[in-house]
Amino acid sequence: MNHDEVDAMVPRWEEAGLSPSLIATLELGKRMARLHMLFDQVVKAELAELGLTYAEFDVLAALSRAAPTCRMKPSELSKSLFLTSGGISNVLQRLTAAGYVEREANAGDARSRWVQLTEEGQRVATAALVASGRAYEEMAGGIPDEIVREAADALREVLSRIGRRRYR
């Protein structure tokens, strides 16, 4: 078995008298945080080459997934991307100024508007998805597919149980 930075923390947790169950949970959390940081770094570097922030990429990708219309309401974007209404508003302003999205009136509800990808926005969204995929493949390069699959499946199981809970 390979060792990582988290393994160096375990003896201190054991000395502090933490239970094996808590130690395993701490290891899980620390490793997930470390993996997230590493993936985040490479993806953000790829996106920066396209002139995008991660939040901008997230919005473009969400709109791109909303095929065939490639449009959503800002409130739907906010909810699906876990961004505040103020945060989504700022991102949409930047994407509108760049010419990647446009807003139009919602004929069904005068209180809301639609946000949709422009043709250029669709092009940039596709390029960003390719760049993001390349970054993920680069990070997982050299890890056998079976190990990646097992880890993804195990994390799904953990998330399906933890993700249902509500915390303060």
Q: Which helix (H) or strand (E) holds 34?
A: helix 20-49
What is the SS3 string spanning 60-125?
HHHHHHCCCCCEECHHHHHHHHCCCHHHHHHHHHHHHHHCCEEEEECCCCCCCEEEEECHHHHHHH
Neighbour-count burial for 89-98, b at 16+ CB within 10 Å, e otherwise: eebbeebeee
- The answer as to whether 151 is a domain residue is no
Distance CA 75, CA 9 (A): 42
- The answer as to whether 165 is a domain residue is no
The answer for 99, left when phi > 0, alpha when psi is -120 to 50, beta otherwise, is left
Domain count within the chain: 1
Structural domain span for residue 50:
5-139
Sign of CA dihedral 117, 84, 167, 14: positive
Rg (the chain; Cα; Å): 20
Whether the Cβ atoms of residue 66 and residue 72 lie closer than 8 Å to each other: yes
Q: What pLDDT shows up at residue 23?
A: 97
- The answer as to whether 98 is a domain residue is yes
- The answer as to whether 154 is a domain residue is no
- The answer as to whether 30 is a domain residue is yes
- The answer as to whether 23 is a domain residue is yes
Distance CA 95, CA 73 (A): 15
In the DSSP assignment, the letter for residue 2 is: -
Q: What pLDDT shows up at residue 104?
A: 87
* 6 token code pair: 């988290």
Here the CATH number for the domain that contains residue 20 is 1.10.10.10
- The answer as to whether 14 is a domain residue is yes
- The answer as to whether 145 is a domain residue is no
Mean pLDDT, consecutive 10-residue segments, the chain of 168 residues? Answer: 91 97 96 95 95 95 88 89 88 95 81 89 96 94 95 94 74
Model pTM greater than 0.85?
no
Read off the amino acid at residue 61.
Answer: A
